[in-house]
Structure 1
């Protein structure tokens, strides 16, 4: 809340302070109020008492329980409840509202005059009816005895609508071309309307006759204030006594008339030459409130002496004063509807009686004097600050033996003087490093500009001295030569600019030449001096060495680093000449039993792989009648050239699978492999020409038969599939062993399984 004291009258601005955006949630609003001190301390008399961009009209209902306002954009109508101090409802409109009027004691019946010639009648539930008048309207007024609505506008006729019958009545014909405002006298219901020609016409609504005509242009105020145009009546207001009327003109004057006289008894000038928009009477203090687009003035009705004024800084549209109180609302060209409380006009309304207590507390606080912003200084102090040249200006106010100086200007100059005497900056005046070098390139580039300024100053001084020596005898008008414009001399500044550029260009060229000559002299001196060269260590020259260097340069960086690291010695040279060399010591190999055992095991595995060529692929079938038995083939992961075939005919245990193995060559690798894979054996039938191989998981034994041709056996595995091998003869063979038929394939035959069709 801002407090101003214009003409010793306290004015409290209740709408001052920051406004919260509409899109903020309740949580964000509370958070912002906790953080921002200005938002927390602001006073919001009525919540959301604003419009999106501009407020056009604001009025208090006759029962003083509701406040209605219209604004834009978009056009809307808002109603506020004074008991809840918040927005009651909001309605959107089709066009901007020029003015509106209450038809009842509350907001239940309202009439809107819009700028598109439409008139809307609203009730509690919304828009009831919409009518269109013949011409654009500017003002409206309601006549309660006959329920007639009067409209004036861009026409010489006064349009009437009877709300009881719901139809237009015969319009009243006036002597004016256009009407700007109208109002009914609250005492005798005399209808008055102000015209564009400066006429006030009064009509009797009962007889529908013109009772009188008042021409403000014939009064003396037009000659007294030197008004050259015909003033228009832009605002009017009847006082509650029924005899006094206030007329506002387009020239910024307010005229107070007695209806019984033809001349105004008081004329008030706003001194802004802006049209008057609103006028209100304050009966308790006998004041008049008049407002134009810039300022609201309050002055005495009888004498015209000003009481106070409010100038908010935005354009004002309409004035609304709560009856018998000091609360004022101003519709303006800003989102917020301005709210002011002036205790001198009256007390606060009943629904915001706390304002009286707040204003009393603020008045009890001590206020700073107007001289707190000024510093009293003597003439000697003023000279010491270097402000003696301000004597006689409006920046100093002479008082007794000194002057009043703005405290901000005093502190500023005090800081400048102390800055020159500060020890921290004393080196700038004693240290030779801060001294300007006239021979430096930077100074020489700036010197043409400085010399140009010096030449211009010297030229002005010479011209001034020459002018003092002569006295002008007669001022004769010099004719302008033909073909030469009068503003030809204005090109001198352009010529001076070109001259300055040429001088800077010449100086820059001279500096460049001097720099090149200095560099050539240094290079010549360097060539004259004797130079010593040192051959790098370990560097060899020759055709063979060059080829090796080329071959080495084609290798990748990773290969070259690996070669250097493998040599065991790594050298590096630092940026300042230091050298670094790293090497690794070769350790003697120690005998490790575990390593030898691992190597021995790997050698046995390699031997086993070397005999893998003796193992082929064998497909065994059952009896001839079982030739169509399905053969299941599995891949072995340990012995790469062995496949498995399952036969349920010769399996005594479901978890055991059998294998027919044909082996040519020594038995030890095969038996060692079978032992390592933990395979078990089953004996074949006795009539089979083969030797049985029997072994368990832990040990094995065999009854060898000295048959060098073939050795057949049936071997099964308990931990995995059985394995099948073929002969090494190179040709497929078929042999019958008892009731079993054996097909032997060479080891290089394909691994695809075949079935015997015999």
Structure 2
């Protein structure tokens, strides 16, 4: 476990640490645990919580019991049972998963959008049905009142598949050349689609007519941002009936009130990388946004940074466990990261022991490397007459002796 303190917020990386090879026998594993202190002290929250090479998507069932992740290679999906803290089942697929979603309370109804234009429907026993959409898909959303699946991708059309009738319905024709992301508001079921031209089109599923248009590419250009090329929409997420966040391919996040065409806040990630995931933490009024390099948590009222996480591997997806301070990430690495942030909320019921563990660590804090040091600036060196020693190994020792003589430090 690795502990970091960013902006006075403790972040516990539960996936950090050594892992034992799978090909070792149980006897050798026990012997290694006795010899290596790091292996003995590691926290394996969920057993086998990894992929062979890369994890691409991660989701949590609505009942909170199951965590599902898709990855490669070979293309596969894994389901983890939080009550047992272990792998429940694994299924291999024919091609890589672009996105998947859990339609039921548990894992009994799952939809996979794959890279070869196929859509697979899975039940408890395995694959239930498989069909192909007309164009390559990039995202999809499920409209619960009408049982319609909305698929968007390398086309100006939004393809509608009705799961009750088992057939395609008339498509929605947008003004964009291609559509990258979509989402449906759970309150009033407004459908939003983000295009490569940087616009968000909002549609009413009841009348199948467009009711609004937002030019996010123009609004993302501010005085403090430097943008190369036309920003396209890369992520969309609704929060409540009136709030929507839009992520762009140039690294900006725009927070909208649906009653206005101007964004309330434009947050720049400063990396110029496409926004991949947007989550909301409503109890603390936070927005959790991620590109491939960094995960930022910031206040949705003023844009002030709460904290941030920079994983070692590139991030593909981020999932927040409901009503808790636990965060899961899918990465360009075999391990899927698990972060626990007590400031966001308590640990889930299935791992409530983490609260006691973190409380014990806070009661016995470890001293950091620089606790007993005093850092000096160039002006301090000018006052001491030591600027000619900059770059030499003698500078630290002479500074220490000089500061001790002058009584600046007590070490």
The answer, yes or no, to whether TM exceeds 0.5 is yes
C-alpha spacing 1:402/1:200, structure 2 compared with 1 (3 Å): farther
1:228 positional shift: 4.5
Correspondence for 1:652: none
Correspondence for 1:357: 356
> Is contact 1:61-1:107 (8 Å) kept?
yes
C-alpha spacing 1:145/1:216, structure 2 compared with 1 (3 Å): same
**Partner Cα separation in structure 2 for residue 193 and residue 371 of structure 1:** 50
C-alpha spacing 1:105/1:228, structure 2 compared with 1 (3 Å): same
1:56 positional shift: 0.5
Correspondence for 2:57: 57
> Is contact 2:217-2:232 (8 Å) kept?
no
* Pairing 1:147–2:150 present: no
Correspondence for 2:243: 244
* Pairing 1:189–2:189 present: yes
1:141 positional shift: 0.8
C-alpha spacing 1:41/1:169, structure 2 compared with 1 (3 Å): same
Correspondence for 2:66: 66
1:229 positional shift: 2.1
> Is contact 1:316-1:330 (8 Å) kept?
yes
Normalized per residue, the structure richer in strand is 2
Deviations 1:371-408 (A, max 9, x none): 3464789xxxx9xxxx974348997699999469xxxx
Q: Please give the secondary structure, in 2, of the residue aligned with 1:146.
A: coil
Correspondence for 2:276: 277
TM-score scaled by length of structure 1: 0.50
Q: Please give the secondary structure, in 1, of the residue aligned with 2:262.
A: coil
Deviations 1:466-497 (A, max 9, x none): xxxxxxxxxxxxxxxxxxxxxxxxxxxxxxxx
**Partner Cα separation in structure 2 for residue 159 and residue 25 of structure 1:** 51
Q: Please give the secondary structure, in 2, of the residue aligned with 1:217.
A: helix
C-alpha spacing 1:399/1:32, structure 2 compared with 1 (3 Å): closer
1:210 positional shift: 0.9
Correspondence for 1:746: none
> Is contact 1:347-1:356 (8 Å) kept?
yes
**Structure 1 segment 694-713 matched on structure 2, within 5 A:** none
1:230 positional shift: 1.6
> Is contact 1:397-1:403 (8 Å) kept?
no
Correspondence for 2:95: 95
**Partner Cα separation in structure 2 for residue 397 and residue 161 of structure 1:** 73
C-alpha spacing 1:397/1:233, structure 2 compared with 1 (3 Å): farther
Correspondence for 2:409: none
Q: Please give the secondary structure, in 2, of the residue aligned with 1:145.
A: coil
Deviations 1:155-198 (A, max 9, x none): 00001111111111111111100001111101111011111001
C-alpha spacing 1:400/1:60, structure 2 compared with 1 (3 Å): same
| Larger displacement relative to structure 2 (352-361 or 17-26) | 17-26
**Structure 1 segment 23-422 matched on structure 2, within 5 A:** 23-219=23-219, 221-222=221-222, 224-240=224-240, 242-369=241-368, 371-372=370-371, 374=373, 389-391=388-390, 402=402
C-alpha spacing 1:185/1:375, structure 2 compared with 1 (3 Å): closer
**Structure 1 segment 520-559 matched on structure 2, within 5 A:** none
Which residues of structure 2 form unaligned runs of 5+? Answer: 405-411
**Partner Cα separation in structure 1 for residue 248 and residue 91 of structure 2:** 34
**Structure 1 segment 712-723 matched on structure 2, within 5 A:** none
* Pairing 1:18–2:15 present: no
C-alpha spacing 1:234/1:397, structure 2 compared with 1 (3 Å): farther
C-alpha spacing 1:69/1:220, structure 2 compared with 1 (3 Å): closer
> Is contact 1:156-1:179 (8 Å) kept?
yes
> Is contact 1:396-1:403 (8 Å) kept?
no
**Partner Cα separation in structure 1 for residue 266 and residue 145 of structure 2:** 34
**Partner Cα separation in structure 2 for residue 403 and residue 177 of structure 1:** 67
C-alpha spacing 1:345/1:398, structure 2 compared with 1 (3 Å): farther
C-alpha spacing 1:265/1:396, structure 2 compared with 1 (3 Å): farther
1:226 positional shift: 4.1
C-alpha spacing 1:376/1:246, structure 2 compared with 1 (3 Å): closer
C-alpha spacing 1:217/1:403, structure 2 compared with 1 (3 Å): farther
Which residues of structure 1 form unaligned runs of 5+? Answer: 405-758
**Partner Cα separation in structure 2 for residue 339 and residue 309 of structure 1:** 14
Correspondence for 1:8: 8
1:315 positional shift: 0.6
Q: Please give the secondary structure, in 2, of the residue aligned with 1:284.
A: helix
> Is contact 2:220-2:252 (8 Å) kept?
no
Question: Which of structures 1 and 2 has the bigger CA Rg?
Answer: 1
**Partner Cα separation in structure 1 for residue 255 and residue 206 of structure 2:** 26
> Is contact 1:376-1:403 (8 Å) kept?
no
* Alignment coverage as a number of residue pairs: 395
C-alpha spacing 1:43/1:205, structure 2 compared with 1 (3 Å): same
Deviations 1:129-155 (A, max 9, x none): 000011110001111111111110000
Q: Which has the higher contact order (CA 8 A, sep 6+)?
A: 2
Deviations 1:94-132 (A, max 9, x none): 000000011111100000000010000000010010000
1:218 positional shift: 3.2
Q: Please give the secondary structure, in 1, of the residue aligned with 2:283.
A: coil
